Structure 1
Amino acid sequence: MSPTTAALLADAILVLHVGIVAFVVLGAVAVLIGGLRGWQWVRGFRWRLAHVLLMVFIAAQAWLGALCPLTIWEQALREHAGQPVYRESFIAHWLSRLIFFEAPWWAFVAAYSAFAALVVVEWVFVRPRRRAG
């Protein structure tokens, strides 16, 4: 694979990663607001299941000290392309760049865990519903 192709694939993975982060964060916000406002679409079973499983997977990775597979894949491609790489998690890297915030790994583990707990609590209080039929 050429370095140019590797760089383009790394960028595509980064875009996918940002989309997943947006899905997790904005999905949780939508469930909170939608649960209060009576929006039925926030109770859709399949997307809620994907949401909760994804967040539990993310928290489990943090507890295990593992980087996200997308981060590993993106960084391998960037290295192949001769681009600079980062060694911490995707969220840790971009949050620190966004708000110039340095925190120990345990702070991100705590944040991921708290967010996963929020998503699970949402599952309980804004119950998803399967379609009848």
Structure 2
Amino acid sequence: MDSATYRILADIVLITHVAFVLFVVFGLIMILLGGVSGWRWIRNPWFRYAHLAAIGLVVVQVWMGIICPLTTLEMHLREQAGDLTYKGTFIAHWLHKVLFYQVPDWVFVVGYTLFGLAVVLSWVKFRPRRFGSRD
């Protein structure tokens, strides 16, 4: 493959990564807003289990010190294209770029963990309905 193809593949992985992050963050926002507003769709078990699994994966990775596989794949593809890459995690890199501020890794461990706990608490407050249930 040529460098342009690797760049396109890396960009597709990056877009997928951004979509994943948006799903996790805005998913919780919508669950909380929908819970207090009475939106029925936020109790959809497919949505809720996917959301819980997504943040669960992030929390497990950060506690185990594993860099996200999407970050690793994107960096590999960018290296194959001959592009410069960044070190560390996707979120840490882009937060640094956006905010021009660097924080220790433990801040991300705590942040992801607290976010994961917020998702778990949303299950207690706004329970998803059972599969096959229409209530």
Same fold (TM over 0.5): yes
Secondary structure at 1:66 match in 2: coil
Of all paired residues, the percent bearing the same amino acid is: 44
Measure, in 2, the Cα distance between the counterparts of 1:101 and 1:62: 20
Aligned pairs for 1:44-55 within 5 A: 44-55=44-55
Measure, in 2, the Cα distance between the counterparts of 1:58 and 1:5: 29
1:27 alignment partner in structure 2: 27
Secondary structure at 2:26 match in 1: helix
Letter aligned with residue 79 of structure 1: E
* 1:113 counterpart = 2:113: yes
Measure, in 1, the Cα distance between the counterparts of 2:71 and 2:29: 24
Measure, in 2, the Cα distance between the counterparts of 1:86 and 1:63: 21
Measure, in 1, the Cα distance between the counterparts of 2:133 and 2:23: 26
Measure, in 2, the Cα distance between the counterparts of 1:55 and 1:93: 19
The alignment of Structure 1 onto Structure 2 pairs a total of residues equal to: 133
Unaligned runs of 5+ in 2: none
Secondary structure at 2:83 match in 1: coil
Secondary structure at 1:84 match in 2: coil
RMSD over aligned Cα atoms = 1.0
- Report the Cα offset of residue 132 of structure 1: 2.4
Aligned pairs for 1:8-27 within 5 A: 8-27=8-27
Measure, in 1, the Cα distance between the counterparts of 2:97 and 2:124: 35
The C-alpha deviation readout for 1:5-42, integer Å capped at 9, x for no partner, is: 11000001101100010000000000011000000000
Runs of 4 or more, structure 1, over 6 Å off, are none
The TM-score normalised by the length of structure 2 is: 0.95
1:132 alignment partner in structure 2: 133
Measure, in 2, the Cα distance between the counterparts of 1:49 and 1:82: 39
Unaligned runs of 5+ in 1: none
* 1:59 counterpart = 2:59: yes
Measure, in 2, the Cα distance between the counterparts of 1:82 and 1:3: 7
The TM-score normalised by the length of structure 1 is: 0.97
Measure, in 2, the Cα distance between the counterparts of 1:84 and 1:109: 26
